[in-house]
Amino acid sequence: MANSSKWSKRLLALFCSMVLSVIVAEIAARHYFYPIRFYNNFTYIPTIYDPLLGYLPEPDWHGLMQNLDYSVNVSIGSDGLRATSNVLKNENNSESAIFFGDSFIFGDGLNDEQTIPSQVSLALSGEGKNIKCLNAGVLGWSPAQALLYYQRLSQKNKFDKVIYGICLENDIADNSAFLSGRFQLSKDTIVWLNKNASPPTNAEDISIVKKLLRSSRLYVVFASYLRRFAPMLRSKIEKSGAVNNTFKEQQNNVSKFFRTSQDSETEKSWEKLQDVLKIWKQETELEKRELILVPFSSAWMIDDNLFSKLTAQWPEGKYDRTYVLNRVKEIAEKENIRVIDPSSMIRKEHFYIFDGHLKPDGAKIAARFIADNL
């Protein structure tokens, strides 16, 4: 009996030490590891399948968008657009501005009233300007998807100003990947080749993997750095659609566009971006609308310390953090597209959340700058 009690105490002590070890490891993972970003095919808010665009936010959805570091309220209207704060004295006599883009415009990590379009609307109303701002940003989209979405929305909506928020870290590569094999660019239009986007993978049977990826930084580190050594785990995670890319893979992909010497593949991606912007400019001119380009950069490109850490892990090569911004501006100038660049106003790490997107105060400052220059 005494021996049994002794073993029970040992087992309890072992269990408690294991639990404590996991807690300590989780705290260490949250403190020391860059929080690698995982997505469920960008469905950490519900999306609907779209054969042309790939996916769209689910209309009439209201809920929380959350991960390890934030929990924010998201409202999607019946039109599929994210809700914005529009304070209008007379909506019938108002102008309208619609914002296209990816996570920076949609407002990753921001409540509805904190997004760039909402903050621009509030800033303009404070100046007595009657301009209604709409948020057509969609998480993870490329410039080509934004253009195609504009073409769809412009057929039944009135817009005076069209603002495209381009993310300098990934939009050029995303654009090239989206266009590859499904669309053909000509001088004046995008031709759909009738190759539908693949429907999302049904992965309800492994939802536990998704839950772990969302709730535990320790599991995220394990899944990212060790999944390459565990074929079964890798297969399950990739099947779930929960992994976008490991941080290192993202670094290597992004780094190509910040090299001072560009390879032929990267140059083709730049050409595709220029073609998309050229088409967009031509269409807005015909419709008597103004197209405005707003470049956004994550904290990794803005902050000196973070940039040095990032490039230290990139493959050998000379990198210039201003290269992408300057080249985007050159393309815009060539196509006669106005650029509003808020980067000088938010050139500090504390304006950004862990993954490089804007905090509420960073979004407010950027929006104030955009509003002042509209």
For residue 168, the tally of other CB atoms under 10 A from its CB is: 23
Query: Is residue 233 a part of any domain in this protein?
Result: no
* Residue 96 vs residue 220, higher pLDDT: 96
Query: Is residue 227 a part of any domain in this protein?
Result: no
pLDDT > 90? residue 116: yes
Q: What are the contacts of 210-215 at 24+ separation with CB within 8 A?
A: 210/40, 210/240, 210/242, 213/38, 213/237, 213/242, 213/243, 214/38, 214/44, 214/66, 214/67, 214/68, 215/68
248: domain CATH number?
3.40.50.1110
Query: Is residue 45 a part of any domain in this protein?
Result: yes
Report the number of distinct structural domains present in the chain: 1
Most confident by average pLDDT, 162-171, 241-250, 303-312:
162-171
Query: Is residue 320 a part of any domain in this protein?
Result: yes
CA distance 256 to 21: 40
* Residue 284 vs residue 30, higher pLDDT: 284
Per-residue pLDDT, 256: 82
Which of 56-60, 101-105, 185-189, 292-296 has the weakest average pLDDT? 185-189
CA distance 198 to 220: 26
Query: Is residue 76 a part of any domain in this protein?
Result: yes
**pLDDT classification of 273: cutoffs 50, 70, 90:** very high
Chain-centre distance of CA 184, in angstroms? 25
Query: Is residue 208 a part of any domain in this protein?
Result: no
For residue 274, the tally of other CB atoms under 10 A from its CB is: 18
pLDDT > 50? residue 40: no
Q: Which residue has the tokens 């190759």?
A: 195
The DSSP-derived string for 115-172 is SHHHHHHHHHHHTT--EEEEEEE-TT--HHHHHHHHHHHHTT---SEEEEEEETTTHH
Query: Is residue 336 a part of any domain in this protein?
Result: yes
pLDDT > 70? residue 287: yes
Which structural domain, as residue segments, surrounds residue 113? 33-201+241-373
For range 189-208, the mean pLDDT: 54
Query: Is residue 190 a part of any domain in this protein?
Result: yes
Which of 60-69, 111-120, 303-312 has the weakest average pLDDT? 303-312
State pTM to two decimals: 0.78
**pLDDT classification of 39: cutoffs 50, 70, 90:** very low
Q: In angstroms, how far apart are the furthest CA atoms of the chain?
A: 90
